[in-house]
Structure 1
């Protein structure tokens, strides 16, 4: 059930209108990592990491990421990432979520105009 919820959240996040700006693949995957890892960190009681990715996720949302649309290529990359994350061991998921923290620290999406 949790996997379906996460997939639903990710797909809703990236839905947009035809007039919307395109979302680049790296930002889309970074945002997906933030969303997935917010849940993962909460389940693992990793509050500091969860706070980092949660704050960045909200900053991206508030900066207008929800109004953007994904290409088919980006959508396929997102699907592949979801499969990879779900098939990973807990240790591998921690490593994948380290990428979410890296994205949270390095993303310039929220400062882009």
Structure 2
């Protein structure tokens, strides 16, 4: 699943290395974007439409603002691993709490505002 997230978050490594001007994606934004992607699916599966719309729209805004063109560091990759493990090990109630963090990120992220 992490491979899917990385593919969704970033262009291939060769693309990032070929463009020396590409920015490095900070860990907080990478994990936030991963949470948006995971929780969009989670909310759809739980039939939580309002929450799904919030994280889905934010995910698309981040994607359209250029998050996929950024490079991910090894530390950020490790943070994504930890986030995925935490989500997968959680029960449904804990996953809802984790996804509350995705909604908070959707509302508070400055990535889209900075990138516009």
TM-score of the two chains, using structure 1 as the length reference: 0.91
TM-aligned CA deviation for residue 14 of structure 1: 2.4
Partner in structure 1 of residue 10 of structure 2 = 14
* Partner-residue secondary structure (3-state), 1:86: helix
Structure 2 residues without counterparts, runs of 5 or longer = none
Counterpart pick for 1:90 among 82, 92, 111: 92
Indicate the RMSD between aligned Cα atoms, in angstroms: 1.0
C-alpha offsets along residues 67-90 of structure 1, whole Å, 9 cap, x if unaligned? 001100000000110011001000
TM-aligned CA deviation for residue 8 of structure 1: 3.1
Aligned length: 108
Partner in structure 1 of residue 36 of structure 2 = 34
TM-score of the two chains, using structure 2 as the length reference: 0.89
Structure 1 residues without counterparts, runs of 5 or longer = none
